[in-house]
Homo-oligomer: A and B are copies of this chain.
Amino acid sequence: MASKTLSAKNAAALDKDLMSIGAFSIDQLMELAGLSVSQAVYRVHPPSRGRRVLVACGPGNNGGDGLVAARHLWHYGYKPTIYYPKQSKNELYQRLATQLRNLDVPFTDDFPSALKETDHIIDAIFGFSFSGEVREPFPAVIRALEETKLPVTSVDAPSSWNIEEGPPSSGPGAKFMPSTLVSLTAPKPLVKWFNGRHFVGGRFVSPDIKKKYNLDLPEYEGIDQIVEVGSNGEKL
């Protein structure tokens, strides 16, 4: 039987396949991933509910997806602020950050203060390659996300959660439950522990890749780059 989820190991292998056999550049994939996230935020939190969005970006690809999403949200009329404490020297991420600076999108180092001045939060800190400990300065950020009453949209994984085993049993993230999750390409096993609104995004998977990873993915509608699914992984 085909699976509705993708293990951390297979998510990494699938990503590699997209860039080798699939012939995608990381620029393309990140653009489409970030676009999916921006569409999910628009769906769950349209600008009429408040235009301020705080985007917490981690040091890797998950953070890059967040930077792309922030740019699209700016074009949709939102007012993003970026928290990006561990900026990589990676040329792509630097360009994505420049694209935001060119829109006068502010970057902040002060997460607690930024949290008081926003309507929605995007958690683009850690993705499917996360494992082990949450490193500085992110433990305090994860704790703040646990405690906030504001809606949080997590990109690919609620940050700090183990990809296969869900929330940590103690420490930062043990009680973190974002209101929305956007699984990129395919849901990861952690969705079993998630009980908010769940979307799948990343409309670029070929039938060959679906077959190779034995994936049973929901069907997208129209021109949507996201599809909402229930707790059983079926399209809503």
Binding site for B on A (CB under 8 A): 21-25, 27-28, 31-32, 35, 38-39, 42, 71-72, 75-76, 92, 94-96, 98-99, 102-104, 203-204, 206-208, 220, 222-223
Contact = CB atoms under 8 A, between A and B. Distances in A.
A95 to B, nearest CB: 4
B75 A204 contact: yes
Contact of A208 (B32, B75, B94, B102): B102
Contact of A102 (B75, B98, B203, B206): B206
B75 A220 contact: yes
B98 A207 contact: no
A25 B27 contact: yes
A24 B103 contact: no
A39 B223 contact: yes
Contacts of A99: 22-24
Given A75-B204, A75-B220, 12 more contacts: A22-B99, A23-B96, A23-B98, A23-B102, A27-B28, A31-B31, A38-B223, A71-B204, A72-B203, A75-B203, A76-B223, A102-B206
Nearest to A102: B206
A76 B222 contact: yes
Nearest 8 CB-CB pairings of A with B: A23-B98, A27-B27, A23-B95, A25-B27, A102-B206, A31-B31, A28-B31, A27-B28
A44 to B, nearest CB: 13
Nearest to A24: B99
B222 A95 contact: no
Contacts of A220: 75
A39 B206 CA distance: 20
A102 B223 contact: no
Contacts of A23: 94-96, 98-99, 102
